Structure 1
Amino acid sequence: MASAVQESRSIDHFFSAPSGRTDRWRDLHAVARSWSRGETARSMVEATLQELGAIEEFHAFPGQELLAALRERLQSDDASGFLALAKRISVAIITGNYKHDSKEWQAVDLSMADPVDMLPSSLGESSTYRPYFEMLAVTPAPMARWPHMAAEFRRLRRPEDAFVYETVLVGSLEDAVCAAVLNPNIAAVVIYEGFALKSRHDAPVLRSVIAAQQPYLDKADEADLALRLAAGLKAIRPELDIYLLSDRRVEKLAGDPRAAMIRRVMYQIEEPLELHLSVLEGIEARYDTPFFDNLKRYAQRPVATFHALPIARGKSVFRSPWIRDMGQFYGINLFLAESSATTGGLDSLLEPTGNIKRAQEMAARAFGADQVFFVTNGTSTSNKMVLQALIGPGDIVILDRNCHKSHHYGLMLCGAQPFYVDAFPMTEFSMYGAVPLRTIKKALLDLEAEGRLDRVKMVDLTNCTFDGHIYNTRRVMEECLAIKPDLIFLWDEAWFGFARWSPFLRPRTAMGAAADIEAWAQDPDAAVQHKKQREGLGANPSIETLLDTRLVPDPAALRLRVYQTNSTHKSMSAIRQGSMVLVRDVDFHRVEAQFHEAIFTHASTSPNQQLIASLDVARRQMELEGYGLVMNAIEVALDIRHEIAVHPVISKYFRVVGADGMVPREYRTSGFVDFLAPDTHWDDQLRSMREDEFCLDPTRMTLVCGTAGFDGTSFKGLLAAQYNIQVNKTSRNSVLLQSNINNTRSDVALLIGVLLKISNEIEARLRQGGEDERKAFAARVHSLMKDVPDLPNFSRFHDAFRTDAGKTTPEGDIRTAFFSAYKEEKCEYLRIDSPECDRRIDKGPALISANFVIPYPPGFPILVPGQVVTHETITFMRKLDVKEIHGYEKAKGLKLLKPDVLASKKK
């Protein structure tokens, strides 16, 4: 492949392909301007134009005509003409103007040209906007016919079409995969049988990506190459509509089970209009937003409301002399679309039968789930719904102690017994990572040894964690199912919903891993693998042997039951508190009734219509442009990392922690160090994604500010108050930066500019303050970076709340402990800075927490009801430099259960 693809294998070049393309066009524009001034030789322009390379073949714009015009002006030494055309193309790519302005596609002088019908126009005679997309056509036709084929598709356009598209033509399987990876505008693929396997370019670098993602593609033979390509494209971008055109017996081909992922199989010589209409219909199926579309129609109806929602229709707002400013701020449609009615097409979120039901079914298709449930109370409520639906009193749940408080409260409400497992610590930053698989397996095996494995119902983990740790979800589920085949998994992916739209992150999502396990279990080789391992382990393998073995589940015995909760509002275009519950559970029919009961228990009977609509629209956006948006979010994050690392002043005081600082070496068997480490390539990152027990979400960046003398809370406040930069999570000496589908490179520029200003202020202060200032600064940095408290692990439940627990396993009755504190006379308070606190810990009676104690940061319970308080916990609390600790009143102290209450419960 041409040099544009070969130029770099670095991660930032690969994951930044769209912006890298615009950068190359900017470079061409700049060198053309220099050539027109006589400052640069023509050879430099030729070399820069060559750098655009084969990547341009994977995009419809600028197309062969404009590129040929560029080369012609270059060869004729028309510097001014070349500059004008290069500038126009560059601006059109950066702004996206070519998607709605047909004149951008013309090579002639725009002032002299009239629009032609062969060029894309999304502003028709009616001047209504029509979204633009690109269709990939994989064809065996010679390249000389490609312009003619593209023109044929253009001539099929009609005023009635809701969308407009341009065609990208390629002639091989490898080029098709490269186009799908590099061009986020591609939304549909047409495959004509008979295409080549290998690219016509020399040894494309992206072939290693293809092999890494879909190793079976290179093994395809001519007979089923089209089906294998379809499967490969679906594995990379499952949202794509694929159409297969064949000159064989299409009826037989359509009946092939492997053709299930193909939207339509057609006879190759049939009327092309049928294909055109099918492609538009496929886009319409994703563009359709049943609830949002109906809500828009409802808002335009003349409705009289006689229900308890005065704000509906907005009359109480716009007629008021006192609050009409709210109406002016939000706009009339917000109020016209408000209603507490569930009739008239609006449907009920609690028991949907109409457009909400359809919207949820479309979300299930998009996210790879069997069922999806919309939630308007946030993922805190989603987690409680799942736990109540699946867990009952006395059930044991293996739970990350570091997870969001909604899981702890959910288990307390269910009456379940949490078996807390601790994540690996990152003491330097006063936060935890994720729970090692060995720890989870040991919990299951210990429970099995106690004869209590039958009571274990669920493994409940956070993926990815707030700080970006991603589990090897498939491996976790497979090895746990090898121990207990009917385990339920709840993966809290509040921050990770966007990952569905990245082919590199998707396998590590709950739904992505569940799909892979399901496919593996149906393969006859799965039973062979399990039998071979079982024979190798023998009849009674020791716990240590099982811990050291990568366990293979029995495909005939496993019951795949996976639940995933997404804070859609955290990573997609949904309004705050918009969440989804994703279900892939073979036994869901057995729990469906109780799942609905959980919804009735926790969901509001007055859900916000705008929230529901935003969940509907968020799904539409991600299905149609999510791939490109997520790629851009990753690019923004890599850009931030790079600019901080290379800046000579900023890097003295700030740094983004690499994978080597976030994930201990034993969990990085691939040897991956960091995204932008020297000699690190994107295939190193892909290997880490496939192999490592934990890897990092590239969009989440732990920015160390302690080395600049700031604790996380004060630095967060500084950014917000003085520079209008908002961040969310902090630690003792860091803040978390998150890139998302909303961010632009302008945001990066603002952040880097602010960090430079702050760094320069530190430099000036140290320079002007003399030795005393430098010593004070060094002491502050040492305090934040070195004098950090050890992180307390979960100690144990008091024996009074372990009457139904195993002898050696740590589960306990959190619900009884929680409600024991409801009577104030049964509780006492003790200040953590008092000598009595240390004396009681040493000599008794034991200090037993009466409630949850959750400091922010780090944001997880360091004490839960019924837990024994230890020196480690008290020392951590004493060293905490935070203002917000839920469940702790500084003036009164820790809330504890009185010893006599505990004695009575123990009896």
Structure 2
Amino acid sequence: MDKQAAEPQERRIDHFFSFPGARADRWRELHAAAREWEQGRGDATQMRALLEGIEAYEGFFAYPGGQLLASLRQRIDAGQAGAAATLAQRLSESILTRSYKSDAEDWDSGEILSDPPPGLNTPTLSRDQHHRPYFEMLVVAPGAVSRGRNIIEQMRRLRRSEDAFTYEAVPVGSFEDAIIAIILNPAIAAVTIYEGFAHDSTAPVPVLRDFLASAKLDAAHIAGDDLPLSLADALKRIRPELDIYLLSDRHVERLAGDLRASSVRRVLYSVEELLELHLCVLEGIDDRFRTPFFDNLKKYAMRPISTFHALPIARGKSVFKSDWIRDMGEFYGLNIFLAESSATTGGLDSLLEPTGNIKLAQEMAARAFGADHVFFVTNGTSTSNKMVHQALVAPGDIVLLDRNCHKSHHYGLVLAGGQPLYIDAFPMTEYSMYGAVPLSAIKQALLELKAEGRLDRAKMVDLTNCTFDGHIYNTRRVMEECLAIKPDLIFLWDEAWFGFARWSPFLRPRTAMGAADAISAWMRDPASVEAYEAQQKELGKKPSIEKLLETRLIPDPRQIRLRVYQTNSTHKSMSALRQGSMLLVRDVDFASVEAQFHEAVFTHASTSPNQQLIASLDVARRQMELEGYGLVANAIEIALDIRKEVNAHPIISKYFRVLGVPEMIPAKYRSAGFVDFLTPGADWEDQVRSMHEDEFCLDPTRMTLVCGTAGFDGTQFKKLMADDYDIQFNKTSRNSVLLQSNINNTRSDVANLIRVLLEISRKIETDLAKGGENAAATFAARVKSLMTDVPDLPNFSHFHEAYRWDAGKTTPEGDMRSAFYSAYYAEGCEYLPLDSPDVDTRLKSGPEMISANFVIPYPPGFPIMVPGQVISKETIDFMRKLDVKEIHGFERAKGLKLIRPDHAKDHIRK
């Protein structure tokens, strides 16, 4: 009982990160307790205490609702152990399986309750609604606690057989309860707000109140303001996908014209017929449910079409009539062939020049992701990145670039002729990986360019957010401080792994589009000009670079040209087919570059794009708008569960561990004081504060699992898990593997992972016990080689002077394009074996060794050499210590490919 007494504090309803699984766990606990009681090993007191804990938050969900909860309480109070156990089992199973969304019987207590409590009516869900998508609508109204049943019944009576969707109402009576409801309940897809509700919740929610105060949404900040409009704004800031309806008995015409009502989809006169509200709600859901391209593709597949174009596989005749490849048709099914065509007419539209359903699908994606424009890309985010470079970067433009970014950025600059100014990220040498680029390094580069009078050449800042290993930038701060130095900088944020973050209120502010939205709002606030002018007065006329580096710079909102581009690999974190990518644009000057942007699309996009990829991008947008919030919340919870189970397990933790925030991000980049997700006492407020204030945060869904302490290098462990246990990872380092939870994972996946790690750990212990001292010594030596004897990570050295013909004195940019194409002439290149004494001689006495190409070892996966770079001793030492088999751009038999020094000098003379 002591443990149970502590649970309300441990599982308070505003401890949001752990809630999705906690709700299911509590229902399982209640069911288990009911069975114990039924079998004579428990009592009604325990059942009553568990039910009280459940009732504290079930008011934020439509199911099981007040009627079924009252029925369960009546059985407990009446001492009906068997009836209580039966109902508890049904409710628990229905919540776990979500069968209540389609099965009317789940809502009915009549078959086990002969005498229902007075005043409770059985809900009526018709059988023909089983196939209809289900959602819930939050109703914020005064007196919702006492009027809740009437509100629910009132909305149910509006249902019609023609409705495409079915929904249940969730009534709450206060501002704070409305916020809690949309955070806890992912099934809420629409909100109806009446006037006259209170601000404060009757539940103890200190964490929520701290958050509302920090966001200026507490009672003190909005007292005297229009509470319904303030609530609508707050709900949209947390879950922008929600449709919000406002019912008022005031001058609705005037209210609808209020600029603050932009968060409201429709304003209705509350005394009028509610059928209009019902139809508006269904229309709003349908607006998100529609998938213009996918819908047309399905219709196209049903038409009897004769094809006289260059795609024999279309319609599937060449497959299903074949004696030799019919198995491919049987494997994939007929629809994939019926939905193929090389034509762009007949309702399918053209990806290169969309004017119909693809154009509409892209506009809907722009709305969903908070962009002005979205381009669908069917050959991966590598292509998306190259499109941006080609469209916006001209030969000679300087691009500030993370040296460790994806190779598509480097190749994009080769193609565009832009000059990379490489900036190194902070190293994590122990784990053979880099973090992210400190803001001070970016500012230093810009300020040095300015000091040399060359800031006009700086065109773009190009960064990866989040990094492969989960480091998330403070995107707003980076852009604001850079814009304070150069107001028209373009930003390219490669969010290949982070597209899902749009659907998390905790992560969204750190996305490119989320930060751009916040900066836009700040620019419109008159206080922004005051803040800028106050800082300028404090800095003085000619502040030193040192002073500017230590100051959190405020840009001039009157001068900013906000130009933000975001690429995301939709297929990496959403339900899109492989290579499905989106390019998001939030650029106030896009009209001036739109023509060249389309030229970049023509250059890089295929003239024969895959129809199924386009359709999957369309469908991925639909899913995320309608259920992305809950899916992402589940992915975060699963990741936190993995961290906890691995690091706390008495056996597994001896050999494996998931790195925490302190190991991934140095303390100097965490000014908010956040330590880790698993720190005792850490809660939602700590993480939210960190997300707003810290220079870097860690994506909770990305977990670095150290395997070197178990004697495995990353590549070896990845192969073991895939070959022997059917568990797949993506990225490895010398002594770790990367685990990534996503919207596809379940708690069963977690259980399987823990089972396998325990099996491997036990095998290690058994082998060590059998092998005696020799085995222990061998194991210790292996661990030492992986965890201690690690090579230092080489920073970027510099470009050879031959490729710095117009560079500044202090900044390290170079003409990588010329170096790249210099390597096309065999007579201008040479090879040196990596272990040749000549390498060491040239490092000491010259001539300098100039890389002729990109050299990218996997792992760690970043280019340790780029064309035109002078190869340093640190780079050679790193390569010699590498024990990986895959190094792109390096042939062991030939050695390092170098540009001959005399050939480089010819370039200088030219």
Matched, 1:121 2:141: no
CA shift, 1:211, in A, is 3.3
User: CA contact under 8 A between 1:566 and 1:579: conserved in structure 2?
Assistant: yes
Match of 1:527 in 2: 529
More displaced 10-residue stretch of structure 1: 442-451 or 134-143: 134-143
| 2: CA distance, partners of 1:468 / 1:3 | 37
Matched, 1:568 2:561: no
| 2: CA distance, partners of 1:261 / 1:289 | 23
Cα-Cα RMSD: 1.7
| 1: CA distance, partners of 2:228 / 2:890 | 63
Match of 1:238 in 2: 240
Q: Match of 1:888, as an amino acid? A: F
| 1: CA distance, partners of 2:71 / 2:388 | 60
CA shift, 1:214, in A, is 5.0
CA shift, 1:209, in A, is 3.5
| 2: CA distance, partners of 1:67 / 1:699 | 35
* Offset from partner CA, 1:92-115 (integer Å, 9 cap, x none): 00000000001101122269999x
Matched, 1:635 2:626: no
| 1: CA distance, partners of 2:55 / 2:122 | 25
Q: Match of 1:394, as an amino acid? A: G
1:294 to 293, 296, 299: 296
Match of 2:481 in 1: 479
CA shift, 1:216, in A, is 5.5
Query: Normalising by the residue count of structure 2, what TM-score does the alignment of the two structures yield?
Result: 0.97
Cα distance change on mapping 1:242 and 1:445 into 2, 3 Å = same
Q: Match of 2:881, as an amino acid? A: K
User: CA contact under 8 A between 1:122 and 1:130: conserved in structure 2?
Assistant: no
| 2: CA distance, partners of 1:863 / 1:58 | 56
Match of 1:615 in 2: 617
The total of aligned residue pairs comes to: 903
SS in 2 for 1:58: coil
Q: Match of 1:267, as an amino acid? A: Y
* Offset from partner CA, 1:794-813 (integer Å, 9 cap, x none): 00000000001111211000
Match of 1:683 in 2: 685
2:387 to 371, 385, 400: 385
Q: How does 1:307-318 map to 2 (within 5 A)?
A: 307-318=309-320
Q: Match of 2:760, as an amino acid? A: I
SS in 1 for 2:555: coil
CA shift, 1:496, in A, is 0.2
CA shift, 1:10, in A, is 9.2
Q: Match of 1:646, as an amino acid? A: A
Match of 1:717 in 2: 719
| 1: CA distance, partners of 2:729 / 2:115 | 50
Q: Match of 1:242, as an amino acid? A: I
Cα distance change on mapping 1:528 and 1:205 into 2, 3 Å = closer
| 2: CA distance, partners of 1:896 / 1:773 | 44
Cα distance change on mapping 1:894 and 1:61 into 2, 3 Å = same
CA shift, 1:379, in A, is 0.2
User: CA contact under 8 A between 1:29 and 1:87: conserved in structure 2?
Assistant: yes
Match of 1:776 in 2: 778
Q: How does 1:849-860 map to 2 (within 5 A)?
A: 849-860=851-862
Q: Match of 1:540, as an amino acid? A: K
Match of 2:322 in 1: 320
| 2: CA distance, partners of 1:582 / 1:658 | 32
Match of 1:71 in 2: 73
1:177 to 176, 179, 184: 179
1:874 to 858, 863, 876: 876
User: CA contact under 8 A between 1:705 and 1:734: conserved in structure 2?
Assistant: yes
2:353 to 351, 354, 369: 351
Matched, 1:698 2:700: yes
| 1: CA distance, partners of 2:589 / 2:219 | 34
- Structure 1: any 5+ residue segments left out of the alignment? none
CA shift, 1:123, in A, is 4.0
| 2: CA distance, partners of 1:599 / 1:5 | 56
Q: Match of 2:871, as an amino acid? A: V
User: CA contact under 8 A between 2:137 and 2:190: conserved in structure 1?
Assistant: yes
* Offset from partner CA, 1:278-299 (integer Å, 9 cap, x none): 0000000000000000000000
Cα distance change on mapping 1:903 and 1:143 into 2, 3 Å = closer
Match of 2:675 in 1: 673
| 2: CA distance, partners of 1:280 / 1:205 | 34
User: CA contact under 8 A between 1:487 and 1:559: conserved in structure 2?
Assistant: yes
Match of 1:157 in 2: 159
Match of 1:7 in 2: 9
SS in 2 for 1:265: strand
| 2: CA distance, partners of 1:28 / 1:134 | 24
Cα distance change on mapping 1:548 and 1:599 into 2, 3 Å = same
* Offset from partner CA, 1:429-454 (integer Å, 9 cap, x none): 10100000000000000000111100
Cα distance change on mapping 1:318 and 1:36 into 2, 3 Å = same
* Offset from partner CA, 1:530-549 (integer Å, 9 cap, x none): 00000000000000000000
Match of 2:414 in 1: 412
CA shift, 1:347, in A, is 0.2
Match of 1:207 in 2: 209
Match of 1:512 in 2: 514
Match of 1:810 in 2: 812
1:861 to 845, 860, 863: 863
* Offset from partner CA, 1:827-864 (integer Å, 9 cap, x none): 11111111111111111111000000000111110000
Match of 1:596 in 2: 598
SS in 2 for 1:874: helix
| 2: CA distance, partners of 1:368 / 1:306 | 41
Q: How does 1:246-261 map to 2 (within 5 A)?
A: 246-261=248-263
Match of 1:48 in 2: 50
CA shift, 1:128, in A, is 6.4
More displaced 10-residue stretch of structure 1: 309-318 or 5-14: 5-14
SS in 2 for 1:146: helix
| 2: CA distance, partners of 1:808 / 1:210 | 46
More displaced 10-residue stretch of structure 1: 265-274 or 11-20: 11-20
CA shift, 1:143, in A, is 2.8
Matched, 1:743 2:748: no
Q: Match of 1:692, as an amino acid? A: D
User: CA contact under 8 A between 1:100 and 1:120: conserved in structure 2?
Assistant: no
User: CA contact under 8 A between 1:701 and 1:737: conserved in structure 2?
Assistant: yes
CA shift, 1:220, in A, is 1.8
| 2: CA distance, partners of 1:614 / 1:122 | 32
Q: Match of 1:622, as an amino acid? A: M
User: CA contact under 8 A between 1:5 and 1:204: conserved in structure 2?
Assistant: no
Q: How does 1:799-838 map to 2 (within 5 A)?
A: 799-838=801-840
User: CA contact under 8 A between 1:217 and 1:228: conserved in structure 2?
Assistant: no
CA shift, 1:475, in A, is 0.2
User: CA contact under 8 A between 2:13 and 2:57: conserved in structure 1?
Assistant: no
SS in 2 for 1:584: strand
| 1: CA distance, partners of 2:572 / 2:113 | 46
* Offset from partner CA, 1:772-795 (integer Å, 9 cap, x none): 000000000000000000000000
CA shift, 1:740, in A, is 0.1
SS in 2 for 1:353: coil
Cα distance change on mapping 1:462 and 1:847 into 2, 3 Å = same
SS in 2 for 1:7: helix
CA shift, 1:39, in A, is 0.6
1:893 to 870, 878, 895: 895
CA shift, 1:184, in A, is 0.3
1:305 to 298, 304, 307: 307
| 1: CA distance, partners of 2:67 / 2:887 | 64
SS in 1 for 2:491: strand
Match of 1:265 in 2: 267
User: CA contact under 8 A between 1:120 and 1:165: conserved in structure 2?
Assistant: no
| 2: CA distance, partners of 1:3 / 1:364 | 48
* Offset from partner CA, 1:322-368 (integer Å, 9 cap, x none): 11111111010000000011001100000000000000000000000
Identity %: 69
| 1: CA distance, partners of 2:366 / 2:80 | 55
Q: Match of 1:703, as an amino acid? A: L
SS in 2 for 1:16: helix
User: CA contact under 8 A between 1:5 and 1:55: conserved in structure 2?
Assistant: no
- Structure 2: any 5+ residue segments left out of the alignment? none
Cα distance change on mapping 1:688 and 1:876 into 2, 3 Å = same
| 1: CA distance, partners of 2:859 / 2:124 | 53
CA shift, 1:121, in A, is 3.4
Cα distance change on mapping 1:203 and 1:673 into 2, 3 Å = closer
SS in 2 for 1:357: helix
SS in 1 for 2:170: strand
